[in-house]
Structure formats: C-alpha cells, structure tokens
C-alpha cells in the first residue's frame, strides 16, 4: 500500500478548491477540498458565467439529472452577471432547510469532489468544520456521492460523524445533535438528513470513506479513538500555529502584550500517547518547513498536513491579487481572539485593504446574509431562532445576545467567499472585502519558490518536501 506523506489542509471556502486538490493528487499525495459554503459557491460560480464549463460538466455527471438541470437553469448566466450586479441569494440553513437547498448542497459537494478526483488515481478528501453544523449532513452525503475517500473534520468534537458516514453508506437516514443556546438541561435537538428524500428511486448503497478527526489535545484524541462508535480511522494533530481557527488555550484565554492568546505547555500534544492509540496520524501546524516531514515520520506520523504553503500556490482558490500581495509583502500573522463568531481564536494576515485593518473593518456595514456561523438559540416562546455575533448589533441584542459578544467580530462567511473572487455587491455600491488567514509558517513560503520563478506551485512544494526523504521513507 502506498505511503501518502502529504495531506492538504482544508483552507477557507474553496481556497482548497478542486484544482488544488487535483494538483496534489497528480503529484501522488492526498488532495483535500474544503466543504465550507459549497452551496453558495456553486451558485455564484454559475452566475459568474462558469467560463471554463467545469461546473456544468460536473453537474452533468450528478446522478439526479433533474436536480442538476434545475440548478443550472436557476443560477447559470451566460457570460456572467454584470460586475456591479448582486448575486441571486440562496436560503440560509436552519434545522429544517428547504429541499432545494439540500439538493444544491449535495450537488455542490459532489461537483467539488468529482472534479478533484479527475485525472489521477490517488485519494481525495473533504474538510468540514464541526462549527458549521447545519449544512454538514448534506455536504457529507454529496461528497460521498462524488466518491470521496476521506472525510476530515475539526473545529469542534465530531463524535457523531463516523456513525453518520456508516448510515449514509448503507443508504439510511442519519441525525446529529444540534447545540441550542438556552436549552434546558437534558433537552436535546437534532437534525436529520434522509438520502431517500433526495435520491428517491436512485437511492443505493455507496462506498464508505474513512473519517479523520482534527484534534489538538490528547484527551480528545483518546475519546475519539477509544470511545466513539465506530472509532475514527485516523487523526490530524493540529498545533496552535496552524492557520484558520485554533482551539482555545486550556484554562481560558489570557492575552499577551500584542493581544494574542497565550498558549503554554498544557496546549502541547504528547505524541508518544498519540502513537499508543495505534491509528494513522498526521501532524499539522508549522510542519511545512524544511526537514520537518522527515521529523514527523520519525515521530511515528503517517505524514504532515500542509495548508499555508498550498494556499499561496498558483492552483489554490485565492484570487491572484491576494497571492501576489502575500508573496511580495510577507505580512505578519495575528491570532485574533475576537474575529470569529465561533469564539475560537482565528489567525488573520495583517494585509492592507483587508478586514484585518481597522479602517476597512469599520467601513463594512454589519450584514448577516450567508449565516454559516449563526448560533441556534431557544426563544422565550420555546421556538428556535438564529443569531450571529457578527450581525447588526441591535438585531443581535434583540435576539437576546450580549452586546459584549459582538465586539470585534468579523463576518467570516462573506470575507472567505470574497477571498476567492465571488464577493457580494450591494445596491448601495458596497463590495464585500477579503480577510486572509494563514499559519505561522507564512514567512517560509518564499523558500519554496524555485529560482527565477515569480509564483509557487503544488509541484514545487511537494518536490521539495518529498525530496528530503530517503527512498524507504517516501
């Protein structure tokens, strides 16, 4: 069996897109697509004109022809929408989403995986966030229809996902518990996805992918391996130097003089204990440096997860202006304790013109129209509502939220979609701005650019990392 040494990080919303994952696969490693916000991304790619035709070509392979045709008829615009025109909105997820939204989400994740797997025989994974709970069931099912080989999830405790994957592989319904703020003790809420309701007569059993959980503590790793039924198939051990969301420091958040969370020895994972669990594991966060793959293998790891280096490769989903600015300026990375509506620390790149800059952040009207990071809460009348600390402050307070929770919160949903060139444009002329995330290894990116080149490629990164291994290690 081939020893895959490099696993792609699931960056942003379609920064780890199908093109990046395919390029990694073509280089003999495991490409991973991001499954975040794929419903809105597919809808916007079609409205932007789908100039290369890949979205429509992949939809033509979707098993439900009527669903594919409906999506194309609803969203595709020949030649693309006008630059100053708004995108057609799609509904936000709730515990009971409309069937059309579920179909769009299933199809969108199918499309991304289908395209990522073309042209090579290496496995492809999809990365999902436990914190983006409501679309996850439909996203997982769509990825499985597309033949995904790994489902990878972090930003939470994904104990229920292995049983979900089992159920879907057997063409059965699956449910997950939903955290509801204000729920009484012992009161449980669940969300159910029924493959039969989507697939109808086309329903059949499908291949079960492996499930890898992203963890940052020995306790969580042990729980997921020994107490989850079925157990996880592997682990990604993520250090707090990784980009995107970081686990909060153990013992609460205390800030240093720069305003960043302080991590200590309690936040370090004991690799010896991870080895003792006897499951494959990958090391993530600052492992994308010279000679560190060799070090990871010596520690007993299967390999390393690479995010930041791949994020700024020419194949990634970031718009070219972002890649160029990053490679020219090599800005600092700041672990922002407030930016994310999830309450988790979130790494932002201090790049001019982005929402990391206070003046740009203050110019943005607070709008919540995508809603992936909304919290579900119980109203006084017993019904459920949805609120986000990054939405308009008055609206958040009216929904029972605390004003203090809104301070410094940024709309990651809109910013991450803007990062890949699909920003919303409003009637008042405001265009959603970008917000870049990267790990602490950002300063190392230039070291991987070949002499005489002005950009970075997936092949450059993989060749350099794999080239440091002996034939028996590669």
Q: Does residue 443 surpass a pLDDT of 90?
A: no
Determine the pLDDT at residue 247: 87
* CA pair distance 7, 127, nearest whole angstrom: 11
The secondary structure element, H or E, covering residue 161 is helix 161-169
pLDDT above 70: percentage of residues in the chain: 100
Q: What is the pLDDT of residues 345-371, one digit of tens each?
A: 999 999 999 999 999 999 999 999 999
pLDDT above 90: percentage of residues in the chain: 82
Q: Does residue 430 surpass a pLDDT of 70?
A: yes
Q: What is the pLDDT of residues 268-281, one digit of tens each?
A: 999 999 999 999 99
Helix (H, G, I), strand (E, B) or coil at 167: helix
Contact 173, 193 (CB under 8 A): yes
Contact 50, 76 (CB under 8 A): yes
| Helices 99-117, 38-47: inter-axial angle, 10-degree rounding | 80
* CA pair distance 222, 2, nearest whole angstrom: 26
Banded model confidence at residue 472, pLDDT cuts 50, 70, 90: confident
Q: Does residue 111 surpass a pLDDT of 80?
A: yes
Pick the more confident residue, 167 or 252.
167
Banded model confidence at residue 444, pLDDT cuts 50, 70, 90: confident
Q: Does residue 433 surpass a pLDDT of 90?
A: yes
Both tokens of residue 299? 């520690």
Both tokens of residue 69? 């045709």
Determine the pLDDT at residue 453: 85
- Say which CATH topology domain 6-328+441-466 has: TIM Barrel (3.20.20)
Banded model confidence at residue 290, pLDDT cuts 50, 70, 90: low
Q: Does residue 2 surpass a pLDDT of 80?
A: no
Both tokens of residue 276? 């003792």
Q: What is the mean pLDDT of residues 19-43?
A: 97
Q: What is the pLDDT of residues 137-150, one digit of tens each?
A: 999 999 999 999 99
Q: Does residue 155 surpass a pLDDT of 80?
A: no
Q: Does residue 1 surpass a pLDDT of 60?
A: no
Q: Does residue 376 surpass a pLDDT of 60?
A: yes
Q: Count of alpha carbons within 13 Å of 329, Cβ hemisphere only?
A: 14
* CA pair distance 300, 269, nearest whole angstrom: 14
Q: What is the mean pLDDT of residues 133-138?
A: 96
Determine the pLDDT at residue 468: 83
Pick the more confident residue, 396 or 230.
396
Determine the pLDDT at residue 38: 98
Q: What is the mean pLDDT of residues 20-46?
A: 97
* CA pair distance 133, 152, nearest whole angstrom: 14
Q: What is the mean pLDDT of residues 278-300?
A: 88
Contact 469, 293 (CB under 8 A): yes
The DSSP line for 88-136 is PP-PPP-SS--HHHHHHHHHHHHHHHHHHHTT--S-EEEEEETTS-TTH
Q: Does residue 159 surpass a pLDDT of 90?
A: no
For residue 298, how many other CB atoms are within 10 A of its CB?
Answer: 9
The secondary structure element, H or E, covering residue 404 is none
* CA pair distance 132, 413, nearest whole angstrom: 10
Average pLDDT of the chain is 94
């Amino acid at each position: 069996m081939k020893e895959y040494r490099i696993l792609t990080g699931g960056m942003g919303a379609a920064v780890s897109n199908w093109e990046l994952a395919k390029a990694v696969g073509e280089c003999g490693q495991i490409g991973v697509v991001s499954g975040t916000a794929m419903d809105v991304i597919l809808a916007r790619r079609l409205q932007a004109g789908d100039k290369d035709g890949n979205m429509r070509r992949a939809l033509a392979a979707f098993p439900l022809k009527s669903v594919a045709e409906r999506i194309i008829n609803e969203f595709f615009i020949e030649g693309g929408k006008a630059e100053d025109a708004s995108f057609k909105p799609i509904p936000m997820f709730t515990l009971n989403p409309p069937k059309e939204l579920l179909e769009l989400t299933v199809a969108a994740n199918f499309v991304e995986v289908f395209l990522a797997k073309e042209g090579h025989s290496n496995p492809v994974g999809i990365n999902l966030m436990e914190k983006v709970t409501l679309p996850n069931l439909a996203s997982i099912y769509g990825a499985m229809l597309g033949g995904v080989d790994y489902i990878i999830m972090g930003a939470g405790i994904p104990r229920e996902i292995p049983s979900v994957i089992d159920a879907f592989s057997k063409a059965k319904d699956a449910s997950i518990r939903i955290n509801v703020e204000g729920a009484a003790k012992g009161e449980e809420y669940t969300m159910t996805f029924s493959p039969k309701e989507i697939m109808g007569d086309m329903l059949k059993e499908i291949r079960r992918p492996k499930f890898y959980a992203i963890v940052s503590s020995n306790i969580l790793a042990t729980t997921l391996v020994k107490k989850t039924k079925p157990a996880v198939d592997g682990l990604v051990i993520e250090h707090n130097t990784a980009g995107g969301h970081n686990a909060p420091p153990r013992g609460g958040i205390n800030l240093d003089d720069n305003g960043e969370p302080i991590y200590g020895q309690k936040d370090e994972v004991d690799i010896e204990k991870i080895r003792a669990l006897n499951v494959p594991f990958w090391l993530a966060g600052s492992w994308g440096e010279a000679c560190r793959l060799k070090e990871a293998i010596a520690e007993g790891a299967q390999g390393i997860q690479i995010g930041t280096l791949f994020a700024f490769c020419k194949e990634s989903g970031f718009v070219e202006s972002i890649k160029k600015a990053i490679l020219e300026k090599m800005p600092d990375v700041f672990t922002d304790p407030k930016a994310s509506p999830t309450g988790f620390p979130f790494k932002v790149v201090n790049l001019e013109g982005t929402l990391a800059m206070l003046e740009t952040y203050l110019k943005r009207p607070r709008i919540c129209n995508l809603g992936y990071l909304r919290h579900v809460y119980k109203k006084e009348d017993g019904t459920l509502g949805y609120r986000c600390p990054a939405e308009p402050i008055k609206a958040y307070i009216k929904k029972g939220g605390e004003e203090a929770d809104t301070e410094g919160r940024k709309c990651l949903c809109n910013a991450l979609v803007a990062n890949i060139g699909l920003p919303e444009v409003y009637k008042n002329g405001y265009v959603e701005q970008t917000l870049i995330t990267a790990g602490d290894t950002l300063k190392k990116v230039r070291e991987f650019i070949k002499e005489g080149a002005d950009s970075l490629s997936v092949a450059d990164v993989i060749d350099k990392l794999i080239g440091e291994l002996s034939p028996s290690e590669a």
